[in-house]
Amino acid sequence: MATQLWQKIQAAKKAEQAARIPSEWKLPETALPPHGTVDLRPYAASSGILSDRELHITEKYDATALAGEIAKGTFSAVEVVTAYCKRAAVAQQLCNCLTEIMFLDAMEAAKRLDVEYKKTGKVVGPLHGVPMTFKECFHVKGYDASDGYISRTFEPSTYDSYLIEVVRSLGAVVIAKTNTPQTMLVAEAENNVFGRTKNPVVSHLTSGGSSGGEGSVLSFKGSALGIGTDVGGSIRIPAAANGVYGYKPSFGILPMLKYAASNWVGMNTGIPAVCGPLARSMRDLTLLSRAVREVKPWTADPALIPNIFELEPVDRRPVVGVIYQSGLMLHPPIRRGIQEAAAKLKEAGFEVKEFTPPDFQEIRSVAAELFTIDGLSYPKRELEKAGEPVVESVMKIGHWFKNPKTHEQVWELNAKKGELQKQMLDCWQEAAIDIVLCPAGPHTAVPPNDWYSDTYTVSWNVMDYPAVIVPFTTADPDKDPKDWTFVPLSLENRKVQALYGPELMAGAPVALQFVGPRLGDRQLLKDAELLDKVLNN
């Protein structure tokens, strides 16, 4: 078969990516992991591309500590940014996590920061010299924002998204954008422009998504701080899958202004998308959020709520409500993770009680209908424009085949959503809890094309409650044998449970999800930081 036009564009885009990685940062054949290598992370060091000092810079500091060292003059912005660009280049060659590569611009920006620092003796802001990555769906002037649609390639953005402006004004250096799935509605990162992203921890399993490139590059330590977006779990699923921290704010906290939507602008289905950080520590999530809020972004983005994140959180030992299961049954490592975490918190003297929310499967089914009210007319149109095929991971989740709905049906769905929000609020009030501990999903990362459930994450989007992901343990065949007593409650449960293999998932990150009440973001970040310390020492 002759090469299709869209394949030529794909090839051109891949060539552009390759050209943006300096040849001295390219992995020699001999440094490539042998076929079947599970954990790709050690190849950052063994590649020989980073010096010992660069390995030290990228490995030993979270963004908060790194910014502190740069401020003290321990490292220059140029050496930090160089180290991270190199490591991101290796990540890209091993995991295919990047989309638009901006290393040259990043180095120039770092030089300017160093000049400024020398001149004034001060950092320009709290993120001075911190290398950052952004999910593909943000505009960076001069680079594409294709969101993985062939039809949108080679149309460079003519302006920066507002959040890009803000983090740059705070001193951050944007080194690359990261991969997402076609349609951005699935928990993977695969599209015809950039291909599929790998999970560096367990490379035969998916990176998750839709901010899959972010999860992957953060986990490889190829970025100090990343920004994803989340309408059903798109920050939290890849954070959990790759073993990093992630924060999905309530709507109105962090600015989406002028971002590059992957669907009809605004997508006002009743469940708003939000953006938020992925990071290497709980405190880094707070660092980014506080820094951005300190510029009073509500004076520029009309969608933001003023002064609410700024309320000083209280010192407390939060009462924890644990959702051991809702809607979908859990794979053994996840079940163990939640049980161990609850036990550890109890041991540490926290009040821990079981919390039963409205059924997550019911919440999820409302979300699935709301996400597809137009029958996905935008992605269908974009794919058709370029004649590119639907990728398997999109085909598989079923959204693709949903019919458009009438306005009346949409209103009914939103009324249903309102009822579920009310039920959740009543449950929460009655239980008298401060924070929820629940799984990030029914399973760890799974093989490519098999992540079809966002039940445990999308429920909090429907509620608009803030949630963070905290890595906790890893799947272990000895501790997590197959559950032979398993009796599926539904066909979907059978399907999900069939994915589990103790050896297949061995080493896969197991994460916890902490959730706060709507707009209680600042307190949630503080509470979760305390609980993270208890759980992860």
Q: Is 98 in the site for a second copy (CB under 8 A)?
A: no
C-beta of 82: minimal distance to a second copy in Å?
37
Token pair listed for 60 = 């030993």
**Residues classed as catalytic:** 135, 210, 234
Binding to a second copy by CB under 8 A, coded x per residue (else -) over 364-383, reads: ---------xx--xx-----
Q: List the one residue from 53, 122, 353, 422 that touches a second copy (CB under 8 A).
A: 422
Cβ neighbours of 101 (radius 10 Å): 22
Half-sphere exposure of 177 (CA within 13 A, CB side): 27
Q: List the one residue from 55, 300, 395, 431 that touches a second copy (CB under 8 A).
A: 300
Residues 240-299 that bind a second copy (CB under 8 A): 257, 264-268, 270, 298-299
Q: Is 169 in the site for a second copy (CB under 8 A)?
A: no
CB-wise, 84 or 149, nearer to a second copy? Answer: 149
C-beta of 320: minimal distance to a second copy in Å?
19
Residues 499-518 that bind a second copy (CB under 8 A): 517-518
* CA-to-CA dists, residue 297 to 3, 79, 291, angstroms: 47, 30, 10
CB-wise, 154 or 411, nearer to a second copy? Answer: 411
Q: List the one residue from 4, 7, 365, 421 that touches a second copy (CB under 8 A).
A: 421
Q: Is 424 in the site for a second copy (CB under 8 A)?
A: yes
Half-sphere exposure of 520 (CA within 13 A, CB side): 19
CB-wise, 120 or 307, nearer to a second copy? Answer: 307
Are 275 and 227 spatial neighbours (Cβ–Cβ below 8 Å)?
yes
- The amino acid that residue 176 corresponds to is A
Binding to a second copy by CB under 8 A, coded x per residue (else -) over 4-43, reads: ----------------------------------------
Q: For 270, list phi and psi in degrees, rounded to 5.
A: 110, -10
Q: Which string of b and e fits 56-80 if b means at least 16 CB within 10 Å?
A: ebbeebbbbebbeebbeeebbbbbb
Rounded to 10°, the helix 407-431/360-370 angle is 150
- The amino acid that residue 492 corresponds to is E
Are 440 and 511 spatial neighbours (Cβ–Cβ below 8 Å)?
yes
Q: List the one residue from 181, 212, 516, 520 that touches a second copy (CB under 8 A).
A: 520
Using CA atoms, how far apart are residues 30 and 24, in angstroms rounded to an integer? 14
Looking at residue 160, the DSSP 8-state letter turns out to be: -
Q: Is 403 in the site for a second copy (CB under 8 A)?
A: no
C-beta of 419: minimal distance to a second copy in Å?
10
C-beta of 370: minimal distance to a second copy in Å?
10
Are 223 and 134 spatial neighbours (Cβ–Cβ below 8 Å)?
no
CB-wise, 44 or 267, nearer to a second copy? Answer: 267
C-beta of 260: minimal distance to a second copy in Å?
13
CB-wise, 353 or 422, nearer to a second copy? Answer: 422
Token pair listed for 91 = 């990540």
Q: Is 398 in the site for a second copy (CB under 8 A)?
A: no
What would you measure as the largest C-alpha separation in the chain, in angstroms? 68
Q: Which stretch binds a second copy (CB under 8 A): 130-138, 325-333, 394-402, 413-421?
A: 413-421
Count of residues engaged in binding a second copy, rule: CB under 8 A: 43
CB-wise, 368 or 519, nearer to a second copy? Answer: 519
Strands 131-135 and 225-230: parallel
Using CA atoms, how far apart are residues 26 and 101, in angstroms rounded to an integer? 14
Are 344 and 310 spatial neighbours (Cβ–Cβ below 8 Å)?
no
C-beta of 522: minimal distance to a second copy in Å?
11
CB-wise, 72 or 407, nearer to a second copy? Answer: 407
Q: List the one residue from 307, 403, 485, 537 that touches a second copy (CB under 8 A).
A: 307
Sign, CA torsion 134/139/142/144: positive
Residues 476-495 that bind a second copy (CB under 8 A): none
Continuous H helices in 262-405: 282-294, 332-347, 360-370, 377-386, 392-397
CB-wise, 158 or 537, nearer to a second copy? Answer: 158
What is residue 175's three-state secondary structure?
Answer: strand
Q: Is 463 in the site for a second copy (CB under 8 A)?
A: yes
Q: Is 145 in the site for a second copy (CB under 8 A)?
A: no
Q: Which stretch binds a second copy (CB under 8 A): 99-107, 128-136, 334-342, 415-423?
A: 415-423
Q: Is 407 in the site for a second copy (CB under 8 A)?
A: yes
Cβ neighbours of 168 (radius 10 Å): 18
C-beta of 427: minimal distance to a second copy in Å?
11
Are 108 and 122 spatial neighbours (Cβ–Cβ below 8 Å)?
no
Q: Is 316 in the site for a second copy (CB under 8 A)?
A: no
| Omega cis (within 30) before 161 | no
Q: Is 226 in the site for a second copy (CB under 8 A)?
A: no
C-beta of 295: minimal distance to a second copy in Å?
13
Residue 531 Ramachandran class (φ > 0 left, ψ -120 to 50 alpha, else beta): alpha
CB-wise, 215 or 357, nearer to a second copy? Answer: 357
Measured at the CA of 13, the angle between CA 277 and CA 87, to 5 degrees, comes to 45
Q: Is 311 in the site for a second copy (CB under 8 A)?
A: yes
Are 264 and 255 spatial neighbours (Cβ–Cβ below 8 Å)?
no
Residues that bind a second copy (CB under 8 A): 257, 264-268, 270, 298-303, 305-308, 311, 373-374, 377-378, 404, 406-408, 410-412, 414-415, 418, 421-422, 424-426, 429, 463, 517-520
